[in-house]
Amino acid sequence: MPARRLSMRKIKEVLRLKFDGKQSNRNIAVSCSVSRSTVADYLLRAKAAGLSWPLPNDLSETALDQLLFPPREISPQSSPEPDWNEIFKELKRKSVTMSLLWQEYREKHPDGYQYSWFCQKYKDWSGKLDLVMRQDHRAGEKLFVDYAGQTVDIVNPDTGEIRSAQIFVATPGASNYSFAEATFSQSLPDWIGSHVRAFNFFGGVPEIVVPDNLKSGVKKSCYYDPEINPTYLDMALHYDTAIIPARVRKPKDKAKVEQSVQMVERWILARLRNHTFFSLNDLNREIAGLLESLNNRPFKKLDGCRKSLFDSLDKPALKALPKTHYQFAEWKKATVNIDYHIEVDGHYYSVPYKLVKRKLDVRFTDMTIECFHKGARVASHLRSFQKGQHTTVKEHMPLRHQRYLEWSPERFLRWAAKIGPQAVTLTGKILASRAYPQQAYRTLLGILRLEKSYGSQRLEAACHRAVVIGAVSYRSVESILKNGLDSQPLPTPPAPPTLVDHTNIRGSEYYCHKGGQHVDASYH
């Protein structure tokens, strides 16, 4: 049904093209930039009003409007007004439209409001609601998440140190039912952990999670194509949900959560302003109690409360929680070194040697390390926190790596020989200090490349000092050069201990050897 706001000029053009131009409804629709159903409706209304072309000269636009859209009087007794509160709730259900609700209304009340009046009256009624309540959010569709601007101080009872706790807030779009908790930071582990606890609080998972462009969730904010943090995506994959950040400079995208943040600040944080907390658990216990009161507080302009609206709308529409618990995992990109190892937190893990110089995606938890190349897992290891050490799988090593990689112990020794004999000696010691020679390649590569910055003479002197003091790491040699120790005299080895001549010290004659045992001579 066309809206009455369309100009009479356009309606006249439809009539002219039909009756004077003999055009088809399709051509008229294209010419007037309206739908064919709208053209058909105008023509039916003109026929019902007994209009023909040309229109009478004395017919004003007001009179034409009244002929085409005659007002309809409705008796309140025969056509009761719909329950707009129920209409509001039903519109939040998936696939429910205003047209469907009007048809159901007319089935009960055949003489009730026309569709245009039905829509207008609902619009007038909903206009009295708060902006956030008026927004069109489907049940179970979106969960809005953000941090409150306010923080809460937590005092260490032993030291008196004060830390500021961050307040995480999550709100489903349809019901405004809210979750809030305190964490010590907005870092990635706390950000992901709060999401996991929010899903458990709601007892299900929404189709979409809408965060603000927080660094923990969005690596690179962009109006058209924001880059989501890979750990955040990993979590979304586990829970079978989508991450769609609020658009930059689009306040309506996050109005829902900002309203909930404001409610949490006013109804929870403001009430805790005079409290002193000594632990995060104590703070979260108080937040949980006040949050329950907030969610059960009756609406002013709607029936029920956030909890009842959530139970009837959002909760039935949420996806089920996954059967397995989510395990927090971080991601990084790593380039495979010539020793076919990648580095994670100072420890080195092997991958198949054919991936040397390739970039891998690395997923690591507290327990495991997984390496992916073009989406396929190519290696996995138990996590180790020993810095500078190697975890190597023999199957990752090439059978003839010298020919394939062009790197070998002999090549490093030849390179060292160009610098000097002390460099050769240090190279040999470093190769011998590793379980596999390939584990020494990264260290040797770094040491021998120092020649470009310091020259061969200084590097040779630094290698000499490293041999004397027993240093077999890149950092040691680099430190010698940075601090100019290569030009200092070499440390002298400590002198062997000497015997002290003292009257209380017994000489060798004090003891004699008998039957393989040392025996005091005084007993003979």
What is the rounded CA–CA span in Å between residue 333 and residue 347?
15
Comparison of pLDDT for 1 and 64, the residue scoring more? 64
Q: Phi first, then psi: what are they for 219, rounded to 5°?
A: -65, -40
Sorted by sequence, the CB contacts under 8 Å of residue 302 that are 6+ apart come out as: 85, 88, 129, 133, 309
| Per-residue confidence (pLDDT) for residue 71, from 0 to 100 | 66
Q: Is the predicted pLDDT of residue 222 greater than 90, yes or no?
A: no
- Looking at every residue in the chain, the average pLDDT score rounds to 80
Query: 189-200 b/e with 16+ CB inside 10 Å = b?
Result: ebbbbbbbbbbe
Residue 75, pLDDT above cutoff 50:
no
Structure tokens at 86: 């129920």
With H, G, I as helix, E, B as strand and everything else as coil, classify residue 220: strand
Confidence of residue 203 (pLDDT cuts 50, 70, 90): very high
The reported pLDDT for the residue numbered 373 is 92
> How far is residue 513 CA from its own chain's centroid?
78
pLDDT digits (tens, 9 = 90+) for 446-488: 999 999 999 999 999 999 999 999 888 899 999 999 999 988 8
Alpha-helical regions (H) of 21-60? 25-32, 36-48
Return the pLDDT at 2. Answer: 45
Element (H, E) at 154: strand 152-155
Average pLDDT over residues 341-349: 92
3-state SS record for 290-312: HHHHHHCCECCCCCCEHHHHHHH
Report CA-CA distances (Å) from 132 to 136, 173, 325, 438: 9, 9, 33, 62
The proportion of the chain whose per-residue pLDDT surpasses 90, expressed as a percent, equals 29
Measured at the CA of 365, the angle between CA 215 and CA 145, to 5 degrees, comes to: 35
CATH superfamily of 142-317: Ribonuclease H-like superfamily/Ribonuclease H (3.30.420.10)
Whole-number CA gyration radius for the chain: 40
In the sheet with 330-335, reading across from the earlier edge strand, the strands are: 330-335, 359-364, 368-373, 376-382
Which residue has better confidence, 170 or 215? 170
Q: 446: Cβ–Cβ under 8 A, 6 or more apart, which residues?
A: 474, 478
Q: What is the mean pLDDT of residues 428-433?
A: 89
Query: What residue ranges do the domains of the chain occupy?
Result: 8-68, 84-128, 142-317, 330-401, 403-487
Span 99-124, pLDDT tens digits: 777 777 777 777 777 777 778 777 77
User: How large is the average pLDDT for residues 74-96?
Assistant: 66
Q: Is the pLDDT of residue 48 over 50?
A: yes
Give the tens place of pLDDT for each residue, 280-334: 999 999 999 999 988 988 877 667 888 988 888 888 989 999 999 898 888 889 9
